[in-house]
Structure formats: structure tokens, C-alpha cells
Amino acid sequence: MKTGFGIVGTGMISKFHALAIKDIPNARLVGCSDMKPERAAAFGKEEGCKGYESLDAMLADPEIQVVTICTPSGAHVEPAVAAAKAGKHVLVEKPLEITLERCDRIINACKEAGVYLGAILPSRFSPANLALKNAIDSGRFGKLTLGDTYVKWWRTQEYYDSGAWRGTWELDGGGSYMNQAIHNVDLLYWFMGDVDQVCGLTSTIAHERIAVEDVGTAIVKFKNGALGTLEATTSAWPGLLKKTEIHGTQGSAIVEQDDVLMWEFANAVGDDAQVKEKFAKKAGTTGGASDPKAIAYTGHKLQFEDFVEAVQKGRPPAIDGLQGRKSVEIILAIYESSWTGKRVQLPLKADPKRPA
């Protein structure tokens, strides 16, 4: 049996959702909806699916079991809650939402409706990142000491001007952290464990007509005592590949995009040579370092496959709403630290208030 999907929002990222869904044998793209029905009709014609006149019409279709949310970041909660109330499982593009209160509304709606909720963070499904996670969990690094991640990308002014929502607090929810680096924020806490406190600085330097940050740096302390840095920018021309470094008393590893640059341990095992060879530096996707359309849909496909299996087998998805909420919370803590000039303790007691 094929699981039917409906897509809400037909902007750029929706095309990657459609590609992923249509590449999964036991899934099918049933239809789409958009605030502008003519856009849904055009997307439906292009992707070979129904273009519904409204979200309500799409949610009423019994052929759809899963709804994916591709609206702007600060417009996720309304369609996600509506989908849950209609009995549909919900898969939300990153970030889950732009405030903790809005994240919680989605999480609670799905819990009350008894449907699965997934937060789309496909970098976790990268084979290199999975190998790194397995090495950490098996204790190969000894005591973790440092975890650093860097997203030094480039976005033109035209990118921000391409949509009225881009670069706004109201709908983008933030800049280089919330929109671009959230994948690596998620990876870092997945690798290192929960964050205890952050100290961050953000600024808007290279772009005009945006309210959010285009550069930021943060120091983090994890609950296990390890420290780390988290850098994010859309102002580093020509755009570098994203990179994560994990260090411990018994090993160090560096992953750049999907390639392993360093894989060294005090106690070598037979698989180490295989990891180095399999994930050796090679020419591949730039991962959106300078072009937001230059991303592969492989990670989306792998996460969608997991979600389809979760729905069909009745087990929780690999990345649920609570996990998606954590990366949002870390980013909001960085913003609060930058706004107040103070170190911020996690978990946050409430959403930070942005200065007027």
C-alpha cells in the first residue's frame, strides 16, 4: 500500500518534497495546496498531482495520510494544526516553527489527535554523519571535550529580496541561524548532547532591507561539560561548505558537508580505513553554500522513507517534534544572549522578547 502525501505551500522547498516523495516506491504525491489557488494548480500540473482550491479541500481528501508543511517558517503552525485535527500525520520543514509557543501548539495538536509529527532535519541521515554519531555513541572519542560547527554561506541581496517574508522576524524567525544553520545546530546537540548554556553575538553586516542577522557566533556549554562554538553567516563569499568538528580525549573527527576530512582515534579499529575511504573528500554538491537551489534531495528522501515506514508500521519517526523544538530553542537562546549581552541558561522558561 502506498502512503498518500499532500504538500502545503508550493515555494522552492516544495519541489524537493515532491522529488523525494515520487522517488519512494511505497509513497505517492496526491496533491498540494497554496494560499494562492493558481499556484497550487500550476504546481499540480507540473508535478502530476491534484491542485486543491484550499487547504480544507486537501485535508478532506481521504487519499492523503501525510501532510508536509512547506510554508514560510513563521506560517507553519496554522496548517500543521489543521492537518493534525483532520487526522493527518504531519511532516514539517525546518524550523518546526519560529517560537517555542508555536512549536508547542504543533506538538500538542498532533499528540491530541494521535498522529505522528516529524521535523525535517535531513542532515542526520547523511551516511558520514551517521558514522560519526555511531562512533560517538560507542565511546570511541573517550570524554567529549569540544564540538564545533560552522555554516559560512553566501546569499545575495537578490535572495532576500525574492520573497517579502525573507529576512523578517515575523515569518523567517531569524537569519543565518534560524534559516540556514539550523541543520548544524541540530547535528551539534545530536552529537554532543543537550546544551546547558550559550553566549552569543549576532549582527547584520552585509545585506540591506533585512531585519535579521546575517552573521553570528556563539559559545556553547553542553550538559556533559564539553564546550563548543556555533558560527553561522550568509555573508561569507563565495560560500564555504558546512563543517562540524568533534573532539574528545581519545579521538577527533571533522566532517565537511558529506565528506570526512579527519577520522583519527587513539585506538584504531578495522572500520576506520573503510570510513576514510568511503567518505574521502570528493567533488559533490555544494549543499547550498552559495545557491539555495543547489541542494540535493537525498536527505529528504531518506527522512521521508523513515516517516512512511513509521506511519505504515505504527512506530515513532526518527526525528519527532520534540527533537525539532530543541534546535529552535538553542537558536532562540543565542538570540536572547545577543540581545541582552548575558549568558543564557537552557531550557528557556519562555520565548525571548526581541528589543523594540
Summarize pLDDT for 43-53 with one digit per residue, the tens: 999 999 999 99
Q: What is the pLDDT of residues 186-211, one digit of tens each?
A: 999 999 999 999 999 999 999 999 99
What is the structure's pLDDT at 285? 59
What is the structure's pLDDT at 259? 94
Residue 322 has pLDDT above 60, yes or no: yes
Identify the structural domains of the chain with CATH numbers, from first to last. 3-122+300-320 (3.40.50.720), 124-290+327-340 (3.30.360.10)
User: How is residue 183 written as a grid cell?
Assistant: 541543520
Rounded distance between C-alpha atoms, residue 70 and residue 76, angstroms: 8
Residue 308's nearest CA partner among 19, 62, 26 is 26
Residue 141 has pLDDT above 80, yes or no: yes
The pTM is what? Answer: 0.96
What is the structure's pLDDT at 288? 78
